[in-house]
Structure 1
């Protein structure tokens, strides 16, 4: 059963400008593993914008309650390339409250826009 669906888009250039303007923003939005590629290189702005869109979409799928922490949601990628969500703390508590047992996430970026869809399944 679908508990919630969220979708979000982020303009890549605007998101990159926000990260440049406020360097500590990346540390508030992402956990360390989201900021770097498996090779150890810094993840690109388009990829970070898609992860930010996923976190926004996740919040919408949970009914957009206040008090969720960005760092309590992590977007990670399986070896196959499929994106996944890992939730802890405030996000996990809200998901449990709603009966969420699984997540589906899709990320994309093209033509200057990053997007994400999140489905919360119960």
Structure 2
């Protein structure tokens, strides 16, 4: 497999929380209902993951935030469920596998995405 794209993003958790409080509709715009109820550090990591995915795809216009949902496998390992706009872009670029890593510590959430194609 060949690497198609790599993206990384970091997010200050407290500042992200302030932004969510200041802009009440933002949570619903950024996150699916399943994501929206998670703790703040987890939301910040998921936001960083969506940003990292967009960067790995080359930051194309027209991606919808909710079309890239971060879900946790039974083991706790995070992965993306891609839908509609994000799935179409990934398919157009030949993405076969999306690798995702999340972390949050010391007030910072981070995410890294690696896209592989066949």
Same fold (TM over 0.5): yes
CA distance in structure 2 between the partners assigned to 1:118 and 1:72 by the alignment: 16
The aligned residue for residue 111 of structure 1 is: 106
Match of 1:32 in 2: 33
TM-score by length of 2: 0.96
CA distance in 2, matches of 1:18, 1:75: 20
| Per-residue CA distance 1:20-76 (angstroms, 9 max, x = gap) | 00111000000011123xxxxxx1111000000000000001001111110110000
Q: Which residue does 1:8 correspond to in 2?
A: 9
Q: Under a length normalisation based on structure 1, what TM-score does the superposition of the two structures give?
A: 0.93
Query: How large is the Cα RMSD of the aligned pairs?
Result: 0.7
For structure 2, the 5+ residue unaligned runs are none
Equivalent residue, structure 1, for 2:71: 76
User: 1:56-67 counterparts in 2 under 5 A?
Assistant: 56-67=51-62
Q: Which of 90, 94, 97 lines up with 1:99 in the alignment?
A: 94
DSSP 3-state at the match of 1:23? coil
Correspondence list, 1:35-50, <5 A: 35-36=36-37, 43-50=38-45
Query: Aligned residue pairs: how many?
Result: 116
The structure where strand makes up a greater share of residues is: 2
